[in-house]
Structure 1
Amino acid sequence: MAVHTVGAEAVDGLLARAGTAAERVASRTAMTGGSYNALYEVGLTDGTRLVLKVPPPAGSPRLRYEAELLCGEALFYESAATVGVPAPRVVHAEWSEDAGAAPFLLMSHTPGVSWQEAGGSMAGGERDRLREELGGLVARLHTVRGPGFGYPAQRVAPLAERWAPAFEAMTDAVLADAAAFGSWLPLPAGAIRSALAGGAAALAEVAEPALVHFDLWPGNILLDGAPGARAVSGLIDGERMFWGDPLADFASLSLLSAPLEDDPAFLAGYGAAGGRTAFDDAARVRLALYRCYLYLIMLVEVVPRGTRGEHLAWVRDFTAPRLTAALDTVAGGG
């Protein structure tokens, strides 16, 4: 499924709802790289650059947790600002899907290029320095506390007082999506559900709901500056945030690399900013559980996204053995 588009007139209508008159708009340029929301860079006549994000129209196929995703994104950016973590600034947010008007999010433009794009030109010393900086930023995010565990829009389940039932609701939802869409999984859903349930005792150790981005793969980490002197300029696409275990962020952070819980540079920054850097067996079980959840999302979302061909094959080849290995880690107690 191609990312949907929004015409110039509709873009102007959304901007007007945000208090930006059409005569102030100098340009509207569709942005690439996303697989769900439509994104537009908006240039104003005074030189200000904004980003407009618009989810698919009502009734479009999606996973259960994707209902009112912009609630989480706006909350992530507002929360990041309270602890000095660079991220877009919310200009205007209307995320409710029950308001009778199309939801959207208008935010400031963040300078830089993605770590994914810049990584090929990065020397080892700069990479370690940036991983240490990133570790410190992520640890600061994890100091933000929420009102309960789960997704803030509460469309999967109400916020819970305990993490274990909240996480169970999240994994049950994606497995229900797999059944509804007929998604291919490397193991029967019942076997996956039973294996995940084996980690309940480890989940019970999580006492406070922390801010979790859960999509911090290199494409969502922006860097700015000249090669050798780059810095993290922003953490973007916070729409998949939830209140949960800080360790959950290690799943996406390590998606395309070696596990960052074993990376000395990242842990140096994470620990210096107050993050916990000791991982006992229960922590290792939780890390495996969060990787299972991420792999399940990747396997299931390809159906409503309409993914075909080489990318579909890559998703299955990449996630299936990793999901099986993570489930084995849960079963083995870490």
Structure 2
Amino acid sequence: MEFHPIERAPAAFQHTVTAAEVRAMCHRAFGGEVRVSSAVELGWGTYNSTYRVDIGADHPVILRVAPEPGKQFRIERELMRNEYASTPYLAPLGPLLPRTLAVDFTHEIVGRDYVFQTMLDGIPAPEGLGAYPRTEWASFFGQMGEIARRIHDVRGTRFGPVHGPAYATWSETVIAYLDDTAADLDDVGLDAADVREVAALAAHQRGVLDEVTSPRLLHGDLWTVNVMIDPAASRPTITGVIDGDRAMWGDPAADWTIYRAGRRPGTERDAFWEAYGPPTSTPAAVTRALFYRARHVGAARLERHRLGNLRDLPETYDDLREVLTCLTR
């Protein structure tokens, strides 16, 4: 078997499995007679380890291997299991989603969760969008708005990650996430005082958060890096949506997609809102958006630390200082 892992430093968060482990995982999933001819680790994402595996079928399959349990932050615990639980609820996306071929959470072959999925057509949007003139990008963001709307129209019965834990109210969900973020920051030696201050304000303003009473499905990580596009299309055309491991039940306005779509008004991203529908701008919605911004910034602080991106860490403190100023004004 040809095996091409990505070489990383020993202390890197992501690390490869072995060729023997890939072969064993394939035999468990597809039978001992399957001949694994090659496995190539892909550079997609910064959390799971992802491989394109040729097992002699019509198309290669994708193998995704989660980090070891001991490496997972509280706010990222068992994300692969969460994605597996969320798949039935993402059914409105139809053929845009990869199909699950096999799942193994036993840790008998390798001490990590793993899943085999079909390989979607296309290339990651960040690799392909640059081939189109900027004037064509609006159609891409319009498609993103349509996809986000399909996801957010799915209703749930409780708040929190699809896999759990479940919460009766939206305020409990937001506060628990902020508390876990602060504890994760403590664990890696980063100052979490501002995140705790936001959590305290969220507890004080529970009523504003609990105006959200209807749990809706959130993808959790829908943006360009988790979208595939057709490299041969005359305009940017989305062919797939991946990595739903952060899916949860909550307020659609809290989704990563909404946060990103609103970051650059007056650009091609405005097409997102034309397809999705205009954002709510009531005083309560504006206040909730500040708590959601703090949620995203806290997670970004952890991500930057994990990736060794120390240069951009101070920006997260500036961002949360601004959030706190607005919340206490």
Alignment of 1:165 with 2:183, yes or no, is: no
Q: How far does the alpha carbon of each residue in 1:174-211 deviate from its partner, in whole angstroms, 9 at most, with x for none?
A: 111112222245x5444233234354222111112211
CA distance in 2, matches of 1:296, 1:104: 27
Structure 1 match to 2:68:
57
Q: Structure 2 residue aligned with 1:270, among 267, 276, 286?
A: 276
Structure 2 match to 1:33:
44
Q: Structure 2 residue aligned with 1:325, among 301, 308, 322?
A: 322
CA contact (8 A) 1:133 1:269 kept: yes
Structure 2 match to 1:243:
249
Structure 2 match to 1:284:
286
CA distance in 2, matches of 1:298, 1:96: 30
The 5-angstrom pairing of residues 189-208 of structure 1 reads 189-208=195-214
**Structure 1 stretches of 5 or more lacking a match?**
none
CA contact (8 A) 2:86 2:163 kept: no
Structure 2 match to 1:75:
85
SS state at 1:139 partner:
helix
SS state at 2:171 partner:
helix
CA distance in 2, matches of 1:227, 1:331: 49
Q: Structure 2 residue aligned with 1:297, among 292, 295, 299?
A: 299
CA distance in 2, matches of 1:160, 1:99: 34
CA distance in 1, matches of 2:250, 2:17: 34
Q: How far does the alpha carbon of each residue in 1:229-254 deviate from its partner, in whole angstroms, 9 at most, with x for none?
A: 22111121111121111112255751
Q: Residue type of the partner of 1:84?
A: G
Alignment of 1:182 with 2:189, yes or no, is: yes
Structure 1 match to 2:6:
none
Q: Residue type of the partner of 2:285?
A: A
Shift of 1:329: 3.5
CA distance in 2, matches of 1:262, 1:198: 38
Shift of 1:111: 2.1
CA distance in 1, matches of 2:77, 2:131: 38
CA distance in 1, matches of 2:318, 2:95: 34
Structure 2 match to 1:7:
18
1:256/1:105 CA distance change after superposition, 3 Å: farther
The 5-angstrom pairing of residues 304-323 of structure 1 reads 305=306, 307-308=307-308, 311-314=309-312, 316-323=313-320
Structure 2 match to 1:114:
124
Q: Residue type of the partner of 1:269?
A: A
Q: Residue type of the partner of 1:173?
A: D
CA contact (8 A) 2:85 2:163 kept: no
CA distance in 2, matches of 1:9, 1:31: 18
Q: Residue type of the partner of 1:6?
A: V
1:82/1:172 CA distance change after superposition, 3 Å: same
Shift of 1:100: 9.8
Shift of 1:218: 1.9
Q: How far does the alpha carbon of each residue in 1:252-272 deviate from its partner, in whole angstroms, 9 at most, with x for none?
A: 75189416999531111113x
Structure 2 match to 1:90:
100
Q: How far does the alpha carbon of each residue in 1:153-194 deviate from its partner, in whole angstroms, 9 at most, with x for none?
A: 33xxx3012111122111111111112222245x54442332
CA distance in 1, matches of 2:234, 2:55: 32
What's the C-alpha RMSD, in Å, of the aligned pairs? 2.9
Q: Residue type of the partner of 2:215?
A: P
CA contact (8 A) 2:65 2:115 kept: yes
Alignment of 1:44 with 2:41, yes or no, is: no
CA distance in 2, matches of 1:101, 1:56: 9
Structure 1 match to 2:221:
215
Identity percentage over the alignment? 28
Greater relative CO, 1 or 2 (CA 8 Å, sep 6+): 1
Shift of 1:107: 0.9
CA contact (8 A) 2:21 2:109 kept: no
Q: Structure 2 residue aligned with 1:129, among 131, 134, 139?
A: 139
Q: Compare 319-328 and 122-131 and name the one that shifted more.
A: 319-328
1:253/1:28 CA distance change after superposition, 3 Å: farther
SS state at 2:90 partner:
helix
1:243/1:196 CA distance change after superposition, 3 Å: same
Shift of 1:298: 1.7
Q: How far does the alpha carbon of each residue in 1:257-312 deviate from its partner, in whole angstroms, 9 at most, with x for none?
A: 416999531111113xxxx6433222222222222111101212444x3x33xx22
